[in-house]
Amino acid sequence: MKAVITVVGRDRIGIIAAITKVLADTHVNILDISQTIMQNIFTMVMLVDLSNLNCEFSRLGELLNEVGKELCVDIRLQREEIFTSMHRI
């Protein structure tokens, strides 16, 4: 199973490190990543593999939300099929 993680917020040191630590701790593999900073606004989109996830999907979302609150960024976790369905033209 795959998921899409999106991150948006004011740029600051440690965003990628904090998010990837949660992913490593929960055995989530990053398949693809795109990150940019637009006028001090940090944006990142990741495609991740959840095949070896060692917790519930909802728990991963909670962990990412906790990190997002600490860093003052918005982090969204969506299953790939839901993300794809929502963004079809």
Residues 6+ apart with CB under 8 A from 42: 7, 8, 9, 10, 11, 12, 15, 35, 73
Please give the CATH topology (third level) of the domain spanning 2-86: Alpha-Beta Plaits (3.30.70)
Cα–Cα distance between 33 and 46 in angstroms, integer? 4
pTM: predicted TM-score of the whole model, two decimal places: 0.88
Q: Model confidence over 55-82: pLDDT tens digits?
A: 999 999 999 999 999 999 999 999 876 7
Evaluate if residue 86 carries a pLDDT over 80. Answer: no
Domain boundaries of the chain, sorted by first residue: 2-86
pLDDT of residue 33: 97
Q: Model confidence over 3-41: pLDDT tens digits?
A: 999 999 999 999 999 999 999 999 999 999 999 999 999
